[in-house]
Structure 1
Amino acid sequence: MRALTLSLTVTLGIAALATSVQAQSIAPSPSQRDADMIGQPADRFGMIVAAQVSRNAERTQLARKAAKLINAGRCREATSLVRARNDSAMAQRVSEVCASPAES
């Protein structure tokens, strides 16, 4: 159950980011269009999105590794893993999940 909770949290965060990026790409504001036209590479937004997608994939992989450790009862290792990757938000969530009473 802990893995499901952690996985759901990460998935919801990724979905929220994807929705935000999609909304920006559908109807860019005039200031975004102006900034793109003033010495900015046309594909800069695409590069930013690609970098964020890559980061999300890395974060999803990290969450899956942490979930496996949590399910194996190795909460300290899961917390150390995400802290070593400097993901304080995920470290906080892992700590919360590990502190919650186990369901039978």
Structure 2
Amino acid sequence: MWQAEQVTKQQIAFLRKLYLAHLIDDGQHNLLSLQKLTGMPRRTVQDALAACSDIGIQIAFVQDGVRNNSGYYHIQTWGPINSAWVGTHLSQIELLLQIPAAPSS
């Protein structure tokens, strides 16, 4: 895949979209849970989710409650992206994005 010292901003943005899509496809997540899992700022997560359609990934917000922000994101389609590839390379993606390790139980 990529070498950490050679990764461009555009590649990081692409990997961020893939990573968030993987998390959404793996469980019911809202903005807050994605922030906590990734350690990314709220605005970064929002911008990446909004830009996923640029690479063909269609994400919808499923309203699940009375409040406007009660609900979760759902992948409608991965488009041209192979979701299995993302799962296979997940540890490399996390390393390149500097995602904090999950706390041990």
TM-score, with length taken from structure 2: 0.31
> Using CA pairs below 8 Å that are at least 6 residues apart, which structure has the higher relative contact order?
1
TM-score (norm 1): 0.31
Which structure is higher in strand share? 2
Largest Rg, 1 or 2: 1
More helix per residue: 1
